[in-house]
Structure 1
Amino acid sequence: MIVSPSERARQIYASPNGDHWHLLFDPTTGHSFVRHTGNVASGGHVTDFSLATFLASGRNGPEHQELWRLIATLVGEDGPRPGLRDSA
């Protein structure tokens, strides 16, 4: 996976076939996005998705479930944890 020095990445999911999904944050733009890197056998293509596009895609794959799980860890019953900012 290629990540610029200004981007921060966290792996969301790695499939058994070698595909990888990462959650990235670019502090230059202030935006987070999902990067899918296909496995070598399929050409290793890299595709970036906005969070809205990725989560609204209508798919219920393990990569989506893992991102929802990660989001749930950031927000408790009392709302967002201190230090989290609204990206609206």
Structure 2
Amino acid sequence: MPAQGSAMRLLYQASSGDAWFLIKDGAGDVAVEHRPNAPSGGQPSRIGLLDFLAAGSGKPEQRALMRLIGTLVESAPAGPERA
């Protein structure tokens, strides 16, 4: 459960059970949290949003984030272009 003043959204869940969440903390910082599946025994880890995107390896969790970002554009009203 996220801390008070923060929010999280499931970004991607792998068939292995690993999950990635988009996290916004109380200060407004955004990160991606990876929660490994229970059998792996790994600990959750966070990476800053820019670092996550910069990795650019095209993994399913990165593609899921790009699709989510794309929905923001699709739902935004068209407006005049600005230079």
Q: What's the TM-score, normalizing by structure 1?
A: 0.78
The equivalent of 2:20 in structure 1 is 21
- Name the CA distance, whole Å, in 2 between partners of 1:75 and 1:32: 19
- The within-5 A match list for 1:46-65 is 46-65=44-63
The CA distance in 2 between the partners of 1:58 and 1:70, in whole Å, is 16
In structure 2, the residue corresponding to 1:70 is in which secondary structure? helix
Question: Considering only aligned residues, what root-mean-square deviation do their CA atoms show, in Å?
Answer: 1.6
After superposition, give the CA deviation of every residue in 1:27-66 in whole Å (9 maximum; x if it has no partner).
Answer: x311111000011111141110111000111311111000
Q: TM-score, normalised by structure 2?
A: 0.82
Q: Going by fraction, where is helix more abundant, 1 or 2? A: 2
Q: Does structure 1 retain, via aligned residues, the 8 Å contact 2:56–2:62?
A: no
Q: Matches of residues 1-88 of structure 1 in structure 2 within 5 Å? A: 2-26=1-25, 28-76=26-74, 78=78
Structure 2: which 5+ runs fail to align?
Answer: none
How many residues are treated as equivalent by the alignment? 77
Identical pairs, percent: 38
Larger strand share, 1 or 2: 1
Give unmatched runs, 5+ long, in structure 1.
80-88
**SS of the residue aligned with 1:68?**
helix
